[in-house]
Amino acid sequence: MVIPVHDVNPARRTPWVTCALILANVLVFLFTPGMTGSATGDGGLAQMCGLRAFLDHWAAVPQELLQHRMPRLVPTGDTGVGPQGPGCVVAPPDYDKSPELSVLTAMFLHGGWLHLLGNMLFLWIFGNNVEDRMGHLRYLLFYGVCGYAATYGFALLNADSGAPLIGASGAIAGVLGAYLVLYPKARVWVLVPFLIFLPLRLPAWLVLGFWFGLQAVYSSGGAVSDAGTVAYVAHVVGFVVGMLIAWPLRRGTPPPPEPRGLLFGRRARPGW
């Protein structure tokens, strides 16, 4: 596992769309009912039930996406005491929900501080250059297309799932796939945990290729992971769609600047 912290690839234009997406994700997280308390471990049963009701309303659910209908019972946000003790009250939904629109709203919901900050870090590092290459409007459309493709790809492979699907990971995976196609030789500063965090400057193709490989392995169940709670399939689909969309743009893309300074703890040679 490597943690990217900065890329040596300055953008020519201010990444207004990337900044707006990050701000929107943070604001939605802060105003999600019960999320901050749940994320810090301070939330009680009432907060948990409120959060479940909120997510069922606004998150994408594979069964709903493919069957185009709401479940008969959903959490209401209230608490009660049943045969198995205290829990969340469920009842028929008192709202109309568009499954297609829920894909968009789910892209701005996150399950905790770590989920949010990890996604926003990747979006900040790699999104500015992709936006710079595509232009603001095309980049915004690209981001949405990757997010929708990732969510529906996950739903098709998990058609019986009734669990809410949230997070910007699928759309951001598309950004990573586009960056790999457009700037494979750009250098990325990463932290590698080995007793301590070692700073290294690695080529983007290695950093992003390694990330994609992990997602592919986890999505196939080939490694021990928390795959039950992380939509690795959505990451894989989003990444591949991002690569395909960016592929026609690779010609004419200005190359990243030649790196200077230290590389792997030694002075870089020309051409690295």
Q: Is residue 130 within 8 Å of residue 182, measured between CB atoms? A: yes
| 84: in domain | no
Please indicate whether residue 55 or residue 108 has the higher confidence score (pLDDT).
108
The one-character DSSP state at 259 is P
State which of 25-39, 177-191, 195-209 shows the largest mean pLDDT: 177-191
Please indicate whether residue 264 or residue 109 has the higher confidence score (pLDDT).
109
Parent domain of 199: 3-32+97-267
Residue 52's nearest CA partner among 88, 26, 105, 96 is: 88
| 56: in domain | no
Global confidence as pTM: 0.86
| 237: in domain | yes
Please indicate whether residue 81 or residue 243 has the higher confidence score (pLDDT).
243
Q: Is residue 169 within 8 Å of residue 219, measured between CB atoms? A: no
| 15: in domain | yes
- Distance between CA atoms of residues 174 and 146, nearest Å: 5
**CB-facing half-sphere around the CA of 105: CA atoms within 13 A:** 16
Whichever domain contains 181, its CATH number is: 1.20.1540.10
Alpha helices in the chain (DSSP H): 16-30, 35-40, 45-58, 62-67, 99-106, 113-134, 136-157, 169-182, 204-219, 232-246
Please indicate whether residue 89 or residue 180 has the higher confidence score (pLDDT).
180
Q: Is residue 243 within 8 Å of residue 180, measured between CB atoms? A: yes
Q: What is the mean pLDDT of residues 154-159?
A: 91
What angle is formed at CA 13 by the lines to CA 133 and CA 259, rounded to 5 degrees?
75
Please indicate whether residue 210 or residue 272 has the higher confidence score (pLDDT).
210
| 41: in domain | no
The one-character DSSP state at 249 is G
| 64: in domain | no
pLDDT band at 1 (very low <50, low <70, confident <90, very high): confident
- Distance between CA atoms of residues 31 and 35, nearest Å: 8
User: Residue 149 has what pLDDT?
Assistant: 97
pLDDT band at 69 (very low <50, low <70, confident <90, very high): confident
Please indicate whether residue 95 or residue 208 has the higher confidence score (pLDDT).
208
Q: Which two tokens stand for residue 251?
A: 């010609």
- Distance between CA atoms of residues 177 and 180, nearest Å: 5
Q: Is residue 143 within 8 Å of residue 103, measured between CB atoms? A: no
- Looking at the predicted structure, is the pLDDT value of residue 223 above 80? no
Mind listing the pLDDT tens digit for each residue in 162-196?
888 999 999 999 999 999 999 999 999 999 887 78
Residue 112's nearest CA partner among 163, 36, 190, 27 is: 36
pLDDT band at 37 (very low <50, low <70, confident <90, very high): low
Render the burial of 73-97: b for 16+ CB within 10 Å, e for the rest.
Answer: ebbbbebeeeeeeeebebeebeeeb
- Looking at the predicted structure, is the pLDDT value of residue 77 above 70? no
- Distance between CA atoms of residues 201 and 8, nearest Å: 9
| 158: in domain | yes
Count structural domains, the chain: 1
- Distance between CA atoms of residues 199 and 265, nearest Å: 9
With the C-alpha atoms ordered 250, 253, 258, 264, is the resulting torsion angle positive or negative? negative
Count of Cβ atoms closer than 10 Å to residue 259 Cβ? 18
| 65: in domain | no
Residue 94's nearest CA partner among 68, 67, 78, 76 is: 76
